[in-house]
Structure 1
Amino acid sequence: MITLLATALAAGTPIWVGRFDTDGALPSPWRVVRLDKDVAPTRYSVTTVGGRRALEARSNNSMAILVRPISVDLSKTPILCWRWYVDAPVEGADMRRKSGDDYAGRVYVAFDMPDSALSVGTRLKLGIARRLFGKHVPDAAVTYVWDNRNPVGTRRKSAYTDRAQMIVAESGGAEAGRWVSERADVGADFDAAFEGDPGRPVQIAVASDTDNTHGSARAAFADLHFVSRGTPCQS
């Protein structure tokens, strides 16, 4: 297996983490994680959206993430590629405030970090967060969002935690109602957000959430994979 993986990487083969080919059931190892049991969960299914087989997320005053483990070497394949689709951005969202922290579409990459890269205060805060929200709270995360107002490329920490770097990959409604292809350098974005501290990507997640603005949204995701910096994204 190790030899096959090394050969694939050398040949520029993408590392696929999200292909959704069968209608209905969510493919293993993807699973729904509710971060707040008092909030209704976003509903996920595999179906056809905009002429493409994809993972659909329907949010109605709800929040839950769909997550799977990953094993990716960002020194070799740091580029995350994906396609997404939203009906519309979340009206009334505002990434500066907890009350506005909603997005029609999100793509997260979660990281483990060694204790040596985390201050005592950070470790204490993470421990509290995990007691409140469960073990899925990561040491750090880079999150790409489809925002409603801020320009593409906007970067700021989450309104909830400085352990999550938010990056606006799409904004507004000009591209709503159609499939949009994305390419993001997760390795560089993590290094910039966490000042070169070491980290290892361990999970990828997608979501559509409207629990703070009490609205609704629909998104779809397809073709999630990692490639090297010199390799084009695959369809």
Structure 2
Amino acid sequence: MRILSLALPVVLAASAAAAGPISFGGNWNEQRLQLFNSNDYSFNGGSMSIASDGGVSLAWARTGRSDWGSTSASWNWSVDQSVPATDLRRKGGDDRNISVYFVFLPEADAASMEGANIRQLNSNPNVRILQYVWGGNHSRGAIQQSPYAPGQGANVILRSAGTGSNSESVNLASDYAAAFGGSIGALVGVAVSADSDDTGSTIRASVSNLAVR
């Protein structure tokens, strides 16, 4: 895993409209984390498929204005081929099948950084990212500071390494408070990653029906 927690561009504007489904459509983009290897993502409206062969990268999307005040999320995910169980607390050995990211800024920062690029966002120390993980060898519900960005990124373990299909429903507000303290702020972006480069293994997985509310 690389410094995924700081690699997301964001566009945000406030809105009181209700949030809802997030489409896996043409608004998603891949962010490479290494020069010579990455993952393959296929987008089909309600779902995303992932193929990773000893690679690592993430796909990200800006959230719509109506998603700004979201405090919970749900999705389905499936893994047909899995990386081995790893220690997600260790740099350079923390492969995982899937991470689903939720990126937050305080409301004032979100408004002032509307249209921010990657470099500008990276310079903001107030960015916070929850990373819901399928992988590793840890217990469900464990919350760990990211070894790459402690205090700014946190892993929330939902599934240990292995195959299967599952549905998830998470409380972003309570997990944020447990990981970082304080209130959740504004949801400004989402991302999905797969990471198999350290173990040189293979991932075949998918994410579908992602929604925030």
TM-score, length basis structure 2: 0.76
2:156 maps to 1:159: no
CA distance in 2 between counterparts of 1:56 and 1:29 reads: 15
Count of residue pairs the alignment pairs up: 185
Equivalent residues in 2 for 1:21-100, closer than 5 Å: 27-36=25-34, 38-46=35-43, 54-70=47-63, 71=65, 72-74=67-69, 77-100=70-93
CA distance in 1 between counterparts of 2:121 and 2:186 reads: 15
Deviation of 1:39 after TM superposition, in Å, equals 4.4
CA contact (8 A) 1:208 1:218 kept: no
- Which digits, 9 at most, give the CA deviation of each residue in 1:76-130, with x for residues without a partner? x4110000001244215220211222110110011223789xxxxxxxxxxxxxx
CA contact (8 A) 2:134 2:159 kept: yes
Amino acid corresponding to residue 86 of structure 1 in structure 2:
V
CA distance in 2 between counterparts of 1:211 and 1:136 reads: 26
CA contact (8 A) 1:148 1:172 kept: yes
Amino acid corresponding to residue 27 of structure 2 in structure 1:
P
- Structure 1 residues 135 and 214, CA, compared in 2 at 3 Å: closer, same or farther? farther
2:185 maps to 1:188: no
CA contact (8 A) 2:81 2:202 kept: no
Equivalent residue for 2:11? none
CA distance in 2 between counterparts of 1:226 and 1:115 reads: 21
- Structure 1 residues 92 and 148, CA, compared in 2 at 3 Å: closer, same or farther? closer
Task: Give the 3-state SS of the residue equivalent to 1:214 in structure 2.
Answer: coil
- Structure 1 residues 54 and 109, CA, compared in 2 at 3 Å: closer, same or farther? same
CA contact (8 A) 1:35 1:64 kept: yes
CA distance in 2 between counterparts of 1:188 and 1:144 reads: 13
CA contact (8 A) 2:50 2:194 kept: yes
Q: After TM superposition, where is structure 1 displaced by more than 4 Å over at least 4 residues in a row?
A: 133-138
Q: Of the two, which has the highest radius of gyration? A: 1
CA contact (8 A) 1:92 1:213 kept: no
Task: Give the 3-state SS of the residue equivalent to 2:22 in structure 1.
Answer: strand
TM-score, length basis structure 1: 0.69
Match of 1:145 among 118, 123, 133: 133
